[in-house]
A and B are shown apart, each in its own frame.
Chain A
């Protein structure tokens, strides 16, 4: 799934989303 995932840690919100392939190195 390409939907963003939200993770909360100590009041901070981390939003996780896929990295565009063009931004990946050595892969």
Chain B
């Protein structure tokens, strides 16, 4: 995935079954963000792989004051990249079993 300066990782082990999963997001390189970032640490949240949209979570982070509106796309993309990777891994496991 592209280095967006925003790191998103699994906050729990992926059992490959449940749709809602805990993720942890933090800013690794604030120079890649357009707005001034208030260093508040790592943000942990749950994300539903089947029903949720990464950009919506990014917008909620903006509304909660973690990021500025100008960076909502980069945050959304960072989450989307990680979510895609999780889904891709799950697909591989499923097709490996079949």
- Please give the number of chain A residues whose Cβ is less than 8 angstroms from any Cβ of chain B in the complex: 16
Tell whether, in the assembled complex, residue B29 and residue A14 are in contact, meaning their CB atoms are under 8 Å apart: no
Q: How far is the CA of A11 from the CA of B31 in the complex (A)?
A: 31
Main secondary structure of the interface of B (DSSP, over half): mixed
A14-B44 contact, Cβ under 8 Å, with A23-B26, A25-B28, A26-B29 = yes
Interface of A: prevailing SS: strand
Choose among A9, A15, A17, A25 the residue that contacts B63 (Cβ–Cβ < 8 A): A9
Let me know if B28 and A14 touch, CB within 8 A.
no
Chain B interface residues toward A at CB < 8 A: 7, 26, 28-29, 31, 40-46, 57, 60-61, 63-64, 66
